[in-house]
Amino acid sequence: MSVTQDALDAVALTNNEYEQLQARLGRIPNDVELGVFGSLWSEHCGYKHSKLLLRLLPSEGEHVLTRVGEENAGAIDIGDGWAIVMKVESHNHPSAIEPYQGAATGVGGIVRDIFAMGAYPIAILDSLRFGLLEADGTRYLLDGVVAGIGGYGNCLGIPTIGGEIAFGKSYQGNPLVNAMCIGLVKSDSLIGATAKGAGNALLLVGAETGRDGIHGASGLASRTDPEERFEEMRPAVQVGNPFMEKKLMEACYELVSEHRDWLIGLQDLGAAGLTSSVIECCGKGQSGAILNLEKVPCREEGMSAYEIMLSESQERMLAIVKREHVTDVMELFQKWELVSAEIGEVTDGDNVILRKNGKEVGNIPVSIALEPPQYRIFGKRGFETRKRAQINPGAFPDLNPRNATELLLKLLQRPNLASKQGIYRQYDHQVLTNTVVGPGGDAAVLRIPGTKQGIAVTTDCNGHYCELDPYTGGAIAVAEAARNIVCTGAIPVAVTDCLNFGSPENPEVAFALEESIRGIAAACELFETPVVSGNVSLYNETGGNPIEPTPVIGMLGVLEDVTDYLQAGFNQVDADVWLVGQSLEQNASTLSGSEYLSLQYEDSPGTPQINLDNELILQKFILDVHQKKMLLSAHDCAEGGLAIALAECALIGNYGFQGDFPNVNRLDATLFGEAQTRIIVSTSPKVRHALEKSAVAYDIPLTHIGTTQDEKTGFNWGPIATSLSNLKEAWTGITW
């Protein structure tokens, strides 16, 4: 083995992997080749510890237009000749080191994945996790990440319409920054990331190539503990230029939508830069290529072949252009004030030949580069986690009714439950003028221009549930995302996921990863929401302590008529308010993993539960009665429980609430238990009989819990009595 350990560490290859590489090549790779293989065999690009598990996820469906993993993002036919392209990705470690640029370039990367398929990006969502808000460094990371997302997305003119944010000890030092983008394209205008046809040209367009981002894929995205390697990995964080990306986006969209016949394929330069873009395109086209690296426009002098191939400089695209249209494509890019250069051509065979100034500096067999080792992980449930999951929340004393109002107000002030208005108002969510329902509710709703249709989108996950029971937590993430979509009146149709975990070499993490995927798969199968795209982010840990398992679910729903949408807030006085899906009274087990227990005891043990069959019935019932024009509003019950969900309905709509409350055996669970499969709806009194009749037909629990009132009435429900202004002061009290 003629290589130093430092050289292997730099590209995140193990000794065993290097020996495999050497054997498969039949020779010793040079430094450039080692860097290329290290990037493509990295966890981020090669999915070494997760690809075998990802096969468990359902990925096919009647409306799915792409095969998962074969394109930059997933595409779903939504009818009327239109398709939605969607994907979510992580930029966790870069954001831990440089929060503004890490988050900004995360947005830039996911947006390029969308327009690389010929779609016009129409919306951005995010899913964020940080350490405890009061902990050292959290505010710095939070402010930088939010500014980065807003700064980049706002400059692009793409609305940031939704997302989620949560705080927990495990994310201290290793925040999660997951960005989701959706795009719109005519179904027959999709383009793939394929290189084929010997002699066709490889054009690089956009920003010049610099030394930023080198080892981003093999280092930042595939290793542990960003804090421990802070200074070492700082140069691996890319630097974004959203105005360059805006020009690139518009140029590529014009190219594909108006001159599709000029192109063979289109691919963004993301993780591993030129390395992954060229070699992956060749793999899809079963071709080879010759690259002339001296033709790559560089912004720094003296860049080596190694640096050019592994640079992750942002705002760059690779266009595979028919030979006869090279001049046409370059002139189109020039019109958009973009620099483009022909850096190589497609060849027959299986090898990508790297040349610089006429000298061959690397020879990469595509089939070897794209077949990294795959590891079957073997997990084991952790003893401490099992012990916490087995604790019965019923062992904790019940809530004194005299303290109920105080507890509600305290819960509304918690960062995980408080209004995030101060965050999402930093994002432009109205640009493009297609936003019907913006952030702050269950899911965002967009109109599809030129049609009656609309779409609903959301991101969801509760990492704490996944820590206590990863299978159930994964299933709940899908169920809650679908429930949020249904609460807008839309039908859930597809999922994109971002699986954030610690080191897969840790048996407890391996167990959580596999079980979460199994839970996601079970829910997606039942709900008929295939996973059409996604991302896996491993080695998220600090000081050897992994984050809570956080498999983020991004979900898409479709409304046949966008004007027929629902919102979460109450919207008229004297409406009936109902709880659908479960009975009002709940037992102590529903406090498992709850915000209530965390507030009261600084710990939240137990085992979350869900019945997926009942969840599906609930969602079908809501869609049915909404189609029959019975519902005025709908809001799901999630973190914080029923009392929090009711308070949110009142606060979002700015209406009071007056309700009856029966005697219950367990007050804390009934008010603040986090039982799944529950939705609060409001209806006109005149549909009461029809609603009850439908509930009987579906054999689903339906409980009348009160009526909406004028805001002056306040919020009065059993032991809880307070003004709407007190609720609002608590809910909006955090200065974000």
Task: Determine whether 259 is an active site residue.
Answer: no
User: Which of 371, 192, 200, 190 has its CA nearest to residue 281?
Assistant: 192
- Kindly list the strands in the beta sheet with 176-186, ordered across the sheet, starting from the edge strand earlier in the chain: 74-79, 82-90, 176-186, 120-130, 160-167
Residue of 49, 91, 93, 429 with catalytic role:
91
CA–CA dist 298, 319 (Å, integer): 18
Are the CB atoms for 369 and 47 separated by under 8 Å? no
Residue 603: CB atoms within 10 A of its CB come to 10
Residue of 44, 49, 215, 464 with catalytic role:
44
Helix 612-627 to helix 507-527 angle, to the nearest 10 degrees?
40
Q: Which residues of 617-635 are buried (b: 16+ CB within 10 A; e: fewer)?
A: bbbebbbebbeeebbbbbb
Output the six-digit token pair for 372. 């990294």
Which DSSP symbol is given to 221?
A: G
User: Which of 123, 57, 59, 62 has its CA nearest to residue 88?
Assistant: 123
Task: Determine whether 91 is an active site residue.
Answer: yes
User: Which of 382, 369, 377, 208 has its CA nearest to residue 300?
Assistant: 208
| Phi, then psi, of 4 in degrees rounded to 5 | -85, 160
Which DSSP symbol is given to 324?
A: G
Output the six-digit token pair for 169. 């000890």
Q: Which residues 6+ apart lie within 8 Å of 147 measured at CB?
A: 100, 103, 426
Element counts in the chain: helices (H) and strands (E): 26, 27
Distances (CA, A) of 402 to 486, 714, 719, 720, 721: 36, 18, 7, 8, 10
CA–CA dist 168, 162 (Å, integer): 21
Residue 613: CB atoms within 10 A of its CB come to 10
CA–CA dist 539, 650 (Å, integer): 41
Burial class of residue 699, CB neighbours in 10 A (0-12, 13-18, 19+): exposed
User: Which of 441, 523, 518, 450 has its CA nearest to residue 485?
Assistant: 441
Q: Which residues are catalytic?
A: 44, 91
